[in-house]
Structure 1
Amino acid sequence: MRLQHSSRAITATATPSTATSWSAALQLATRSCHPNRSPLPSLLDEATRIETPPPIAAHHHHHSRKRSVPHKQHRKLFRTDGVRMGSRLLLLLALLACALRCCSGASSNATSYSLTMHAVDEDFCDATKQLSGYFKIAGSKSKNYFYWFFESRGAPATDPVIIWLTGGPGCSSILALLQENGPCSVNDDLSLKRNPYSWTERANVMWIDQPVGVGFSYGDVSEYDTTEKEVGDDMFHFLQEFFQAKPEYQKQPFYVFGESYAGHYVPAIAHRIFTGNQQGEGPVHINLQGFGIGNGLTDPEVQYKYYPDMAYNNTYGVKAVSYPVYLAMKAAVSPCVGMISSCQTTKAACLAAQTFCNAALVAPYSASGLNVYDVRSKCEHPPMCYDFSHVEKFLRLESTLEKLHVSPKSAKWQSCNMEVHAGFSFDWMKNFQQLVPPMLEAGIRGLVYAGDADFIVNWMGCKAWTLELPWSKHEQFLAAEDKEWMVDGKKAGRIRQVGPFAFQQVYEAGHMVPLDQPKNSLALLKAFTLSEEQQQDGTEHTWLGTEAMVKDDSVMSIM
């Protein structure tokens, strides 16, 4: 279904007796329709000039069934004032038509947006209502974002709405749908298998290929995004359009989730929504309740400090580098952090910081042959370390493209677009933790979680930036206790929470928590989102100690 705005033309027929007045009306309408002038003052002026004809005395003819004939004087009034009223009504009609044209012209000069929606067969991937389509920024030459939306398996009319964003930068969220937390996964023979731990067990979820050029999204290379401001603006307008098209979801709690480089995306998008709501921007107030960042790069200035220890002193006892190399990595931390600090104010320093820091702090680990996304395993399929070839084949099948209504303008699907990736070189070392405190102070909840076997965006660095975050409850968060997180009576991780903010360490999981710990990731999501429903009495939000049922009737308790 394609949503389009339409307008009805206002027409009037001019009789010979009103031709002169109609001509005058058109002349005034033309003057009022100047592109830099609003027609409304003229409309109001003309409205106040309309003279009401004098009242006509009522003639009562009792006991007579004949129709009353107006007095000759009254007939004259009808003729004179009728023409006057007719001409002025025509004048107002002309002005109103002009106003509509002016409004239409104004909106055409501004950036406008359009959304396409197609129903996806419910026997494809999952037996729930699903939609796919594109969001086009009409003010651009070519930007088109692809999305795939699934209703909740539970209570779609009341469950939260979540958007999921894969990082990279430049990697497809559809990969996460089919490999991590979506309703189905792809088998080696390209058949689909139902995922019992899909996040749609708890929420209505939309996976979005963004920014432009990623996955099935497409557009001119000249319009590829390179900053988080562009990412935030595009996604804000996407969501405005989506909630207008699907008003039934407008009042439900809304969350922004993502992983990896989405540590940049998520705070940028959530904060853009937050400020848009504050300023009353857009026709829809998006019911933002929280955000979640999984193994995300949010504060490089803090996080890069922890690469040496994750390589040599991780919780799994893996010595990925020798002791001399570890010491060399430690020595590189200070100059690296200095360069990242310079990047915050000097764009030219950003590329140098990325080049030096990755060479000094990431490359030594990569040279070990271990998986940068999981210290427990080898990198079997460089450079991604994982074999996603079956997903790629599935998403290139003609039958898949037809079912998902993929545009023929889209390039062949690939897990990551390295051209998009390169475009964010000056964005990579930017800090985005500063966008978080204003949201926390307003009661927007934040969850930072991290699989503790990941190297590339490791849990040590993720926890560190949450501990350094400057907000009103900073001291309380520093003093808070890390509590055991239990799922089905087993230790699944540790969590620290104060008010609306929490850090969660997930045991036995690498960079992609839903891939390695699907049941536990669903439990995590349920606890985080269910706390909103359990705290309707104005008390402080907490999800420590709350319980959430997983699909197979297992019980998760955060303690």
Structure 2
Amino acid sequence: MANYISSVLKSLLLLLHLVFLIQQHVDSASIVKFLPGFEGSLPFELETGYIGIGEEEEVQLFYYFIKSERNPKEDPLLLWLSGGPGCSSISGLLFENGPLAMKLDVYNGTLPSLVPTTYSWTKTSSMIFLDQPVGTGFSYSRTQQYNKPSDSGEAKRIHEFLQKWLSKHQEFSSNPFYVAGDSYSGMVVPATVQEISKGNYQCCSPPINLQGYVLGNPITEHAIDYNYRIPFAHGMALISDELYESLKRVCKGEYVDPRDTECLKLVEEFSKCTKGVCQEVVIKPLCVTETPNCYIYRYLLTTYWVNDVNVRKALQINKESIGEWVRCYFGIPYTHDIKSSVPYHMNNSINGYRSLIYSGDHDLNVPFLATQAWVRSLNYSIIDNWRPWMIKDQIGGYTKTYANKMTFATVRGGGHTAEYKPYETYIMFHRWINGQPL
């Protein structure tokens, strides 16, 4: 009898614990109709919230969810991951492909303003902007007892996040689903796609309607990404013919951690030539955030805006989450355990998922030449050969389509992220997501 009572009590306690967790989930999502700095009510549907990850839900991942402005019942659902690792997804929302942007006014001590954009991907898709890994943006841990984030570990956490998010938003469970991101998320997105794909064939959880993924200037493999900086720099007239020929002859195409002393000297010469160049987009001036006439001044304005007490209140930020918000926390504890994401791309292709891989063609960090090289290494036949894609009568970039449902495209004049050419990138994405040729 005592054992029976004990068993019943345990069951009741477990039930109460589950009810408590469900209640926490319900309370953690909020509809946001007004944002400080934006005049009037928001012209789109915004939800913010936290999803608990792990057995004890010790990790709390923060997200911004914006419904498609076209037909949310049928339009695709995209998960957006910013790079870093450690860069808040606000980087995507306010700089790259969201419906709001910072107004570039000189900061005068008052709250910076927000303005609507004309290039939001939410015009045709619903989007979840996720702060990950833990410690990024407004995502935090309730305790110190959690696994240190890693590339492969994040793929599992993101998959868990999606399962829980979709269980709360079942009206989107049948929508075509895509994972998207840029920069360092090139290591995490392909692994996440594979993790979701595997999960769809396992028991106990409803399948996610995974259709494919989108990556911009993705970090893929350090040696490939770095080695192609030298030919890219030469093509952009950043180094001389003589230095380029010497580098090729002496280093034989391997420029990462050279052991040959002559090669090392030449690589150092290359570094001197490119030190004063803006790595993210070589045609922009190298400048500091605090300069009002500089493009990245918006990063400073965003920091002032996000750290305003009324903005945090509107976004329903848990007070226990973090102290000062930073756009990119580059010192985040993290294990880089995926050395190359190429095998993940291969597996995802074999499983039939669509992909759009695009490159701003003026990025020195991850040159388009590097991305082209690993795409070429997949050895798929070409369906649509290299050609310009147009916006009205202007060239938006160049594109090539492969038999594995992979489309590669450049964005002419673009940089390391979509923020440098947001309208052109939007046109490219809009066509691809709707199944149209670029």
Give per-residue Cα distances to partners, 1:32-56, cap 9 Å, x unaligned: x5xxxxxxxxxxxxxxxxxxxxxxx
8 Å Cα contact 2:177-2:208 kept in structure 1: yes
For the aligned residues, what is the CA RMSD? 3.3
1:407 equivalenced with 2:322 (yes/no) = no
Residue of structure 2 aligned with 1:395, choices 294, 298, 306: 306
Specify whether residues 123 and 213 from structure 1 end up closer, same or farther in structure 2 by C-alpha distance, changes over 3 A only.
closer
Specify whether residues 101 and 324 from structure 1 end up closer, same or farther in structure 2 by C-alpha distance, changes over 3 A only.
farther
Residue of structure 2 aligned with 1:180, choices 73, 83, 96: 96
| Residue segments in structure 2 that go unaligned for 5+ positions in a row | 106-111
Aligned equivalents of 1:365, 1:261: Cα separation in 2: 25
Aligned equivalents of 1:481, 1:361: Cα separation in 2: 37
| Residue segments in structure 1 that go unaligned for 5+ positions in a row | 1-22, 34-96, 340-351, 532-542, 545-557
8 Å Cα contact 2:397-2:412 kept in structure 1: yes
Aligned equivalents of 2:387, 2:64: Cα separation in 1: 36
Aligned equivalents of 2:120, 2:13: Cα separation in 1: 48
Aligned equivalents of 1:177, 1:294: Cα separation in 2: 15
Corresponding letter in the other structure for 2:162: L
Counterpart for residue 154 of structure 1: 70
Structure with greater helix percent: 1
1:437, distance to aligned residue in structure 2 (A):
2.1
Specify whether residues 480 and 204 from structure 1 end up closer, same or farther in structure 2 by C-alpha distance, changes over 3 A only.
closer
Counterpart for residue 170 of structure 2: 247
Counterpart for residue 487 of structure 1: 391
Specify whether residues 103 and 449 from structure 1 end up closer, same or farther in structure 2 by C-alpha distance, changes over 3 A only.
same
1:120 equivalenced with 2:32 (yes/no) = yes
Counterpart for residue 363 of structure 2: 454
8 Å Cα contact 2:239-2:270 kept in structure 1: no
8 Å Cα contact 2:357-2:407 kept in structure 1: yes
Corresponding letter in the other structure for 1:193: V
**Equivalences for 1:263-278 in 2 at 5 Å?**
263-278=186-201
Specify whether residues 306 and 187 from structure 1 end up closer, same or farther in structure 2 by C-alpha distance, changes over 3 A only.
same
Residue of structure 2 aligned with 1:519, choices 387, 399, 423: 423
1:381 equivalenced with 2:288 (yes/no) = yes
Give per-residue Cα distances to partners, 1:340-398, cap 9 Å, x unaligned: xxxxxxxxxxxx9xxx99x9589816853110001112211279983310011111111
Counterpart for residue 202 of structure 2: 279
Corresponding letter in the other structure for 1:393: Y
1:530 equivalenced with 2:434 (yes/no) = yes
Provide the TM-score with structure 2 as the length reference: 0.84
Counterpart for residue 289 of structure 1: 211
Corresponding letter in the other structure for 2:345: V
Specify whether residues 403 and 365 from structure 1 end up closer, same or farther in structure 2 by C-alpha distance, changes over 3 A only.
farther
Residue of structure 1 aligned with 2:350, choices 433, 441, 448: 441
Residue of structure 2 aligned with 1:502, choices 407, 415, 425: 407
Specify whether residues 488 and 226 from structure 1 end up closer, same or farther in structure 2 by C-alpha distance, changes over 3 A only.
same
Pairs aligned (count)? 411
1:418 equivalenced with 2:325 (yes/no) = no
Greater shift, 448-457 or 98-107, is seen at: 98-107
Structure with bigger gyration radius: 1
* Higher RCO (Cα < 8 Å, 6 or more apart): 2
1:157, distance to aligned residue in structure 2 (A):
1.2
Specify whether residues 333 and 427 from structure 1 end up closer, same or farther in structure 2 by C-alpha distance, changes over 3 A only.
farther
Provide the TM-score with structure 1 as the length reference: 0.67
Counterpart for residue 68 of structure 1: none
Aligned equivalents of 2:393, 2:148: Cα separation in 1: 45
8 Å Cα contact 2:74-2:175 kept in structure 1: yes
Aligned equivalents of 2:57, 2:10: Cα separation in 1: 28
Identity of aligned residues (%): 25
Aligned equivalents of 1:327, 1:487: Cα separation in 2: 37
Specify whether residues 148 and 451 from structure 1 end up closer, same or farther in structure 2 by C-alpha distance, changes over 3 A only.
same
Secondary structure (helix, strand or coil) at the match of 2:155 reads helix
Aligned equivalents of 1:485, 1:147: Cα separation in 2: 33
Aligned equivalents of 1:234, 1:486: Cα separation in 2: 39
Counterpart for residue 201 of structure 1: 123
1:226, distance to aligned residue in structure 2 (A):
3.8
